Amino acid sequence: MRAWWIRLGRPIAGAEVDVWHASPVGLYENQDPEQAEYNLRGKFATDADGRFWFRTVKMVGYPIPTHTVVGRLLKAQDRHPYRPAHLHALIFKPGFKVLISQVYDPHDPNIDSDVQFGVTKALIGDFVRHDEPHPAAEPDVQAPWYALDYVYVMESGEAVLPRPPIK
Ligand SMILES: [Fe+2]
């Protein structure tokens, strides 16, 4: 007889979740004078079930700056400068190691060639396209729209936040 052990996660309530992402034209708000301060950045807290949610616009990938030695290096390696579309998160809760991560869109044309080598299988998000109208809770959302469900897993430990400025 074979046995499988399934380890169920314990929800983490009250975690602070910072999220940020690039715009539909591939720019962060601090790079784009057309965007308001803190646009596409948010801070949330997980509920009693360890969940949080938000509504936003769909991000796209972007090129990293290539005006320095980085550009020459990429050219010498015959590589493009693009990062696939992704959602950043920084999750903080005392008693857990700070989780800083990115979730990637598997449909991005550069998902297999991220210039920063940041994509791993565990970081691929399930971005599900919906071509029907959104449920009544969000009546102004036009099709197509996307949903992303992703589970962040935190590890017990000391919660040490990075000190800005982060370079
Ligand atoms: Fe990014």
Q: Which residues contact 11 (CB under 8 A, 6 or more apart)?
A: 46, 48, 49, 50, 51
What length does the chain have? 167
Q: What is the DSSP letter of 138?
A: S
Q: Could you report the per-residue pLDDT of 105-164, keeping only the tens digit for each? A: 999 999 999 999 999 999 999 999 999 887 766 778 888 999 999 999 999 999 999 888
- Angle made by CA atoms 6, 105, 157, in degrees to the nearest 5: 45
In this predicted structure, the answer to whether residue 60 has a pLDDT above a threshold of 80 is: yes
Predicted model pTM: 0.89
For position 49, what pLDDT does the model report?
93
Residue found by looking up tokens 């903080």 in the block? 92
Residue found by looking up tokens 């949903």 in the block? 147
Instruction: Summarize the confidence of residues 60-78 as an average pLDDT.
Output: 96
For position 7, what pLDDT does the model report?
55
Structure tokens at 121: 């299988």
C-alpha 119 to ligand 1 mean position (Å): 12
Superfamily name with CATH number, domain 4-153: Aromatic compound dioxygenase (2.60.130.10)
Closest to 146 (Cα-Cα) out of 154, 158, 157, 138: 138
C-alpha 19 to ligand 1 mean position (Å): 11
Q: What is the DSSP letter of 73?
A: H
Instruction: Summarize the confidence of residues 15-24 as an average pLDDT.
Output: 97
C-alpha 159 to ligand 1 mean position (Å): 23
C-alpha 127 to ligand 1 mean position (Å): 17
For position 112, what pLDDT does the model report?
98
Average pLDDT in the chain: 92
